[in-house]
């Protein structure tokens, strides 16, 4: 899960060289409710689209430029939708509730969602969340056992909490258990209490993240690996059988206004560099709509400045929603409030929750997603506020169905 600001770091001290992964191919799968989404094959390469155009019309009002891929027929590739697995570790969690993770995973695949994502936090974060989540890698292994097509992604794994060698083994295991469907989403973390609990300094998180990524790139693609970094050192390690380096997504985004940048938010240069070395970027939910849009533009500008095609990176966003049966905004908010506060707690004002998360009428939520799509978001990860399968079905029929693949280029 994303924190309240982007993580700053210096370059990794690890003596590893990152190889640029090859481009991957895409395939489509048949979906229910006549929906079609692009589902990339699991591979170590770059996912998704490779060309972008402005000006796409759809069922939702679109009055500005939009990033998307133009298919040969002149149609536009649909936004790719994933969902969060409801791996909430409620204080009163029962065995029956925990088992619903498996049911939810199967249902998400049946509905045609492109990916299942899992969160990571093992301590309640006062001021931001009101719950914690079960082990992300164990939950993905659980989901892998009952699915066969849907991608399985960490969103995001807080990698400073792990040593790179056993983490490489966990990734290799998930790669094989899932038949190559695992996607590695990583973040540096931000919760000082969690870092202190593990005996680490919060200020090391960025450097540790970069060093672990560098080590993983070698451990998952080479044998007899020796690595010497600032925090991690090992000699002659082989992870067999080699799975190859998975599709890599990273988190991070704008820091809040400070004396250094009083007029606008900004992304730390080290965070931009980390994103530039990945296949995709996942924008956190704990920020405003405009912040996400500004971050997309900042990342694209940075990539251009570094000589990398901005369209070679996927741009994603995670957000929580709870759909209700009313077209009255105030009634909708009243119905949604207990659900969103169960996840986020009551530390923040309800106005702040409305700014950060997908609250309001279903039409308003769809319009917010369309606005993000126009700004360049290509992957939308929707999170329920519980394990309610009805909400998952409504996501598919009332949100995903508004973004079909057969939209044509606007004139």
pLDDT tens digits, one per residue of 129-147:
667 889 999 999 999 999 9
In a domain, 87, yes or no: yes
Provide the pLDDT for residue 93: 82
Distance CA 395, CA 230 (A): 45
* Helical (H) or strand (E) element with 215: helix 205-219
In a domain, 19, yes or no: no
pLDDT at 36 > cutoff 60 = no
pLDDT at 106 > cutoff 50 = yes
In a domain, 9, yes or no: no
pLDDT confidence bin for 33, thresholds 50/70/90: very low
In a domain, 46, yes or no: yes
pLDDT at 128 > cutoff 70 = no
In a domain, 8, yes or no: no
Backbone angles phi, psi at 358, to 5 degrees: -80, 85
In a domain, 16, yes or no: no
Strands 314-320 vs 280-283: parallel, antiparallel or unpaired = parallel
Provide the domain limits for residue 90. 26-408
Whichever domain contains 366, its CATH number is 3.20.20.30
Q: What is the pLDDT of residues 163-207, one digit of tens each?
A: 999 999 999 999 999 999 999 999 999 888 899 999 999 999 999
% the chain with pLDDT above 70: 75
- Look at the chain and report how many structural domains it folds into: 1
Tell which residue, 124, 123, 152, 159, has the closest CA to residue 138. Answer: 152
In a domain, 18, yes or no: no
pLDDT confidence bin for 256, thresholds 50/70/90: low
pTM value is 0.80
In a domain, 229, yes or no: yes
pLDDT at 54 > cutoff 80 = no
- Helical spans, DSSP H, in 111-204: 136-144, 164-177, 192-197
């Amino acid at each position: 899960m994303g924190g309240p600001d982007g993580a700053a770091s210096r370059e990794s001290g690890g003596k590893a060289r990152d190889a640029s992964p090859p481009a991957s191919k895409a395939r489509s799968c048949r979906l229910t409710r006549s929906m079609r989404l692009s589902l990339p094959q699991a591979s170590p390469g770059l996912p998704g689209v490779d060309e972008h155009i402005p000006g796409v019309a759809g069922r939702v009002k679109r009055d500005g430029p939009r990033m998307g891929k133009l298919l040969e027929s002149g149609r536009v590739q649909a936004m790719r939708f994933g969902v969060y697995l409801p791996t909430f570790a409620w204080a009163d969690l029962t065995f029956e509730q925990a088992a619903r993770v498996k049911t939810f995973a199967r249902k998400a695949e049946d509905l045609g969602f492109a990916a299942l994502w899992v969160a990571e936090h093992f301590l309640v974060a006062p001021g931001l969340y009101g719950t914690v989540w079960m082990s992300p890698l164990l939950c993905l292994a659980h989901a892998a056992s009952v699915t066969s097509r849907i991608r399985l992604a960490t969103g995001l794994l807080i990698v400073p909490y792990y040593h790179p060698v056993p983490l490489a083994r966990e990734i290799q295991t998930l790669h094989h258990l899932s038949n190559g469907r695992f996607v590695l989403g990583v973040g540096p973390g931000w919760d000082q209490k969690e870092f202190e609990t593990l005996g680490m300094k919060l200020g090391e998180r960025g450097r540790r993240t970069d060093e672990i990524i560098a080590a993983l790139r070698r451990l998952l693609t080479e044998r007899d690996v020796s690595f010497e970094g600032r925090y991690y050192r090992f000699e002659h390690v082989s992870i067999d059988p080699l799975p190859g380096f998975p599709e890599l997504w990273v988190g991070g985004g704008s820091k809040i206004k400070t004396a250094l940048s009083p007029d606008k938010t900004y992304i730390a240069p080290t965070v931009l560099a980390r994103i530039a070395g990945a296949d995709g970027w996942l924008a956190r939910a704990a920020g405003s709509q405009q912040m996400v849009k500004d971050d997309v533009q900042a990342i694209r500008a940075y990539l251009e400045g570094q000589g990398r095609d901005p369209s070679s990176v996927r741009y994603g966003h995670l957000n929580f929603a709870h759909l209700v049966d009313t077209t009255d905004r105030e009634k909708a908010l009243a119905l949604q409030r207990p659900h969103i506060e169960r996840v986020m707690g009551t530390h923040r004002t309800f106005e702040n929750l409305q700014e950060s998360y997908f609250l309001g009428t279903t039409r308003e939520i769809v319009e917010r997603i369309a606005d993000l799509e126009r700004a360049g978001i290509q992957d939308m990860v929707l999170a329920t506020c519980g394990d309610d399968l009805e909400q998952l079905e409504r996501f598919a029929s009332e949100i995903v169905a508004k973004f079909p693949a057969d939209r044509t280029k606007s004139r």
